């Protein structure tokens, strides 16, 4: 086949491609593999779910709910959970995979920010990654809302209020989406195709583009012996990198399966079907929208009137805050170029301590969002510590104004102290391990590290001079180097 298609040399070349090794690079792979589990389990659930708000009388296996009027969506999820073989396991795997997927993307983006991997020529991939994060949030919220239980219905009611708070266009949008005033009778049926078709296809397309760009531009790497802007030091795609990746996939799938089997999540049979008069306190959404919940709870009761239009605090907390967060993230590459004057291409990563301002800004931003997360559970904090909800809210409001600036100053001071302290070259990797001819391992001496760096340098120089791309395994390419 390869002979007929002429793909032999192309396949060989790409199988010999080199990827650097570092534990922080695994967040992207974790996101990819959890998405595979997410899609696989989602396809199974689609066979049994009914995306409709038509009402019926529940007569399934869960006795406490028998005889109650529920929507078809809620009834189908109960059927999956109690009557479909393996249904509850698959459903819980799907939910856990969604939480891991979004968390892995967030950690991946944080690694990219703190190491400067968003700079040219990878700024486009930064925008793609952020868009993937937004789509993942949209997929999570839409999927979380489909069962039409009490908790998800309460969340949809909050989303309805946030959209409705948008001046001028808010009311037409909710009328279109919900099919009328709350609760409407169309939102589940309209969220369903968005959740199972529109968003997944968009995610797949962006993931494909993201991976293609990483493959074409080559992966970034940390500074160290033998590492330069023009080369890559690491492992071949085949067999070393491929075997590790396959192993990681099965590990991720196994852990998600174990979580689905052992840890209950979103027990809708305990919440019951949605009833606008039965909304409870101490209700918490999935973690990834905790910052939005906290913003709604901590925002003071501000109102602004512009002519006949009244803008209330829901708009400020639900729309403006989210816009500032994600707008600021999209502006990161431009702001970095604007304030540093650095328009060059970069393939070597920064150590966070070496860029104190960027690191301090990132730490302060994380602290601000963390306070919003805590604010999303301020009633639980109040009950746990036997403090009034009002007092907890006031403390968190003050903390939101004071703690992030303090975090910025402290982080900046720590980074500068670590960067400027005397010692060996900061780009050297610590704790290098060397393997002896007999198969044993020992801490590498400075001379061994220097010798290895010299060998890497010679190999890259020779290959660049020869321009030979069809070399046997173990011989490096002109711009890629296999670590010893």
Tell me, yes or no, whether 474 lies in a domain.
Answer: no
Domain of residue 417, residue span? 351-421
Is residue 53 one of the residues assigned to a domain?
Answer: yes
In 240-398, which ranges are E strands? Answer: 304-306, 309-311, 348-349
In a domain, 435, yes or no: no
Q: Given a cut of 90, is residue 434 above it in pLDDT?
A: no
User: Does residue 296 contact residue 109 with C-beta atoms inside 8 Å?
Assistant: no
Helix, coil or strand: residue 422? coil
pLDDT band at 81 (very low <50, low <70, confident <90, very high): very high
On whether residue 453 sits in a domain, the answer given is no
Residue 325 sits in the same domain as residue 356: no
- Coil, helix or strand at residue 20: coil
Q: Do residues 76 and 214 share a domain?
A: yes
Are the CB atoms for 403 and 389 separated by under 8 Å?
no
Q: How confident is the model at residue 226, as a pLDDT?
A: 79
Question: Which of 421, 442, 476 corresponds to the end of one domain?
Answer: 421
Q: What is the pLDDT of residues 442-474, one digit of tens each?
A: 777 767 766 766 665 555 544 444 444 444 333
Domain count, the chain: 2
Residues 356 and 306 reside in one and the same domain: no
295 and 415 within one domain: no
Query: pLDDT tens for residues 181-238?
Result: 887 788 999 999 999 999 999 999 999 999 999 888 888 888 887 788 888 888 888 8
Over residues 227-272, the pLDDT tens digits come to: 888 888 888 888 888 899 999 999 999 999 999 999 999 999 999 9
One domain, residues 113 and 138: yes
Decide which of 421, 438, 467 is a domain's last residue.
421
Do 210 and 335 reside in the same domain of the chain? yes
| Residue 25, in any domain of the structure | yes
Predicted pLDDT at 475: 35
CATH assignment at residue 54:
1.20.810.10
Tell the burial category of 272 from Cβ atoms under 10 Å away from its Cβ (0-12, 13-18, 19+).
Answer: middle
Of all residues in the chain, the percent with pLDDT exceeding 70 is 87
Q: Are residues 385 and 323 in the same domain?
A: no
Confidence of residue 5 (pLDDT cuts 50, 70, 90): low
Least confident window among 298-302, 407-411, 467-471: 467-471
pLDDT digits (tens, 9 = 90+) for 129-150: 999 999 999 999 999 999 999 9
The pairing of beta strand 309-311 with beta strand 69-71: unpaired
- With respect to residue 429, please indicate whether it lies within any of the assigned structural domains: no
Is residue 441 exposed (0-12), middle (13-18) or buried (19+ Cβ within 10 Å)? exposed
């Amino acid at each position: 086949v390869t002979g007929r298609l002429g793909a032999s040399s192309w396949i060989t070349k790409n199988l010999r491609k080199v990827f650097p090794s570092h534990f922080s690079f695994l967040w992207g792979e974790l996101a990819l593999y959890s998405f595979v589990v997410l899609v696989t389990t989602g396809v199974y659930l689609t066979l049994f779910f009914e995306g409709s708000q038509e009402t019926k009388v529940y007569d399934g296996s869960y006795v406490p709910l028998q005889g109650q009027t529920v929507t078809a969506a809620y009834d189908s999820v109960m059927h999956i959970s109690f009557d479909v073989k393996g249904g509850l396991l698959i459903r819980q795997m799907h939910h856990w995979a969604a939480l891991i997927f979004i968390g892995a993307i967030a950690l991946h983006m944080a690694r990219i920010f703190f190491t400067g991997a968003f700079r040219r020529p990878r700024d486009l991939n930064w925008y793609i990654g952020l868009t993937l994060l937004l789509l993942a949030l949209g997929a999570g919220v839409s999927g979380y809302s489909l069962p039409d239980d009490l908790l998800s219905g309460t969340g949809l009611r909050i989303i309805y209020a946030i959209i409705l708070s948008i001046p001028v266009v808010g009311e037409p949008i909710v009328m279109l989406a919900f099919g009328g005033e709350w609760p409407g009778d169309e939102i589940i049926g309209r969220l369903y195709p968005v959740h199972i078709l529109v968003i997944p296809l968009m995610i797949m397309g962006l993931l494909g583009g993201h991976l293609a760009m990483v493959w074409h531009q080559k992966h970034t790497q940390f500074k160290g012996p033998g590492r330069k802007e023009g080369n890559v030091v690491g492992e071949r795609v085949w067999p070393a990198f491929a075997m590790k990746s396959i192993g990681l996939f099965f590990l991720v799938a196994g852990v998600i399966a174990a979580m689905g089997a052992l840890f209950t999540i979103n027990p809708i049979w305990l919440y019951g079907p949605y009833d606008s008069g039965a909304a409870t306190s101490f209700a918490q959404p999935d973690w990834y929208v905790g910052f939005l919940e906290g913003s709604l709870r901590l925002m003071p009761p501000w109102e602004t009137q512009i002519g006949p239009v009244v803008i209330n605090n829901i708009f400020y907390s639900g729309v403006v805050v989210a816009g500032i967060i994600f707008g600021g993230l999209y502006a990161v590459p431009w702001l970095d170029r604007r304030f540093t004057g650095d328009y060059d291409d970069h393939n070597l990563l920064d150590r966070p301590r070496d860029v104190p301002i960027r690191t301090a800004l990132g730490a302060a931003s994380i602290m601000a969002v963390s306070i919003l997360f805590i604010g999303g559970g301020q009633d639980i904090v109040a009950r746990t510590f036997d403090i009034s909800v009002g007092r907890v809210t006031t403390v968190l409001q003050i903390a939101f104004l004071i703690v992030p600036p303090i975090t910025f100053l402290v982080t900046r001071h720590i980074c500068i102290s670590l960067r400027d302290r005397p010692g060996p070259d900061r780009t050297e990797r610590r704790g290098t391990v060397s393997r002896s001819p007999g198969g044993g391992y020992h801490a590498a001496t400075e001379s061994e590290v220097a010798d290895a760096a010299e060998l890497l340098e010679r190999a890259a120089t020779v290959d660049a001079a020869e321009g030979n791309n069809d070399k046997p395994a173990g011989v490096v390419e002109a711009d890629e180097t296999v670590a010893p």
